[in-house]
Amino acid sequence: MAGHTSPLRALLALALTTSGCGAADLSQTWQLDRLRVLGVQAEPAEIAPGEATALSSLVYVPSGAQLDAQIWFACLPTAADDFGCSLDASALDAFAELDPATATPEELAAALEAAQEAGLIGVEPFLPPRWVAPINALDGLSEQEAREGVSALVNLSAASTGPDAGEEDLELVYKRVPVSRATTPNQNPLLIGLAVDGDLRHPDAEVLVVKPGAEVEIEPILSPDTIEEYIYVTTEGEEEVRTEEPYFTWYAEGGGYEQAISLYPDSARAWTAPETVGFEGVLVVVVRDRRGGMHWTQLHVRVE
């Protein structure tokens, strides 16, 4: 039968697709040239039922544009679909129809309550996002399963307006927040800065000046205790001590990277500065610990 031909064909297709013959230039993931949500951090990173976590985001807004709002929702995985939380849009109707200029505090409160029942947990800059894991989040799970927990979901919609009329942008992202009774709950990783050609530079350090087209080796420096060991209970019921394997994603307003990802401990990446003298921009690095923890740092650069 011809059935066992498909894996080879799939590999062939993959090889040709990735060969990129004739592909036009498309924007790369590391390019900061539009509204982008680069990271969302929950602090603490992993919570138990009934506990709260505060959420923060790293949003890139291009020069001249203005971030209008960030709307946050959260849900347990039972209420999620392929795009994060499955939202009942009608629950937001009352909220959307309100005119902030004329609405009474009671109308605002009622609309907010209805939206919160649908999962709304924050509207920045007015309502900082904060989520409390339902007390019954782990009901029905065995003790072992509860230690592994479930992944709740947080949705973030960010909207911006450009300098020209009608120039609006929208970003939709989601991430997971582990809810568990883990003995070693996850902590967010901590990036203390970026080492440029071996010299550690903190986020608030002065602007890095480079020559046009210069290649700069940048290494993200993690806090010494940021890579955690944790206990995982295998499907056989055995406890296993595991160590986090963080990875980094790279962004830049100009210039470029050969690769937009690096894996710890080969954390460093080379950034090539743009050829334009006078360019000023920012480089951003986001670290993920693969357990839901996230952190980021940045570096300002100028080409002279």
Nearer to another protein, 28 or 136 (CB): 28
Q: Which is nearer to another protein, 51 or 148 (CB)?
A: 148
Those residues whose C-beta lies under 8 Å from the C-beta of residue 193, and which sit 6 or more positions away, are 200, 201, 202, 203, 205, 220, 221, 297
Indicate the residue among 22 and 166 with the shorter CB distance to another protein. Answer: 22
CA distance 272 to 218: 10
Our CB check for another protein shows the closer of 129 and 303 to be 129
Residue positions counted in the chain: 304
**CB of residue 10 to another protein, shortest distance in Å:** 10
Q: How far is the CB of 250 from another protein (least distance, A)?
A: 11
Question: What's the closest the beta carbon of residue 260 comes to another protein, in angstroms?
Answer: 9
Q: How far is the CB of 119 from another protein (least distance, A)?
A: 16
User: Minimum distance from CB of 127 to another protein (Å)?
Assistant: 21
Residues in contact with another protein by CB under 8 A are 1-9, 11-13, 15-17, 20-29, 34, 37, 39-40, 77, 82-84, 148, 151, 171-176, 178, 232, 234-235, 242, 245, 247, 249, 259, 261-263, 266, 288, 290-292, 294
Report in angstroms how near the CB of residue 132 gets to another protein at its nearest: 20
Q: How far is the CB of 61 from another protein (least distance, A)?
A: 16
Please say which residue, 218 or 294, places its beta carbon nearer to another protein. Answer: 294
Of 12 and 109, nearer to another protein (C-beta) is 12
CA distance 148 to 108: 39
Q: Which is nearer to another protein, 111 or 287 (CB)?
A: 287
| Residues 98, 101, 104, 108, Cα dihedral to 10° | 40
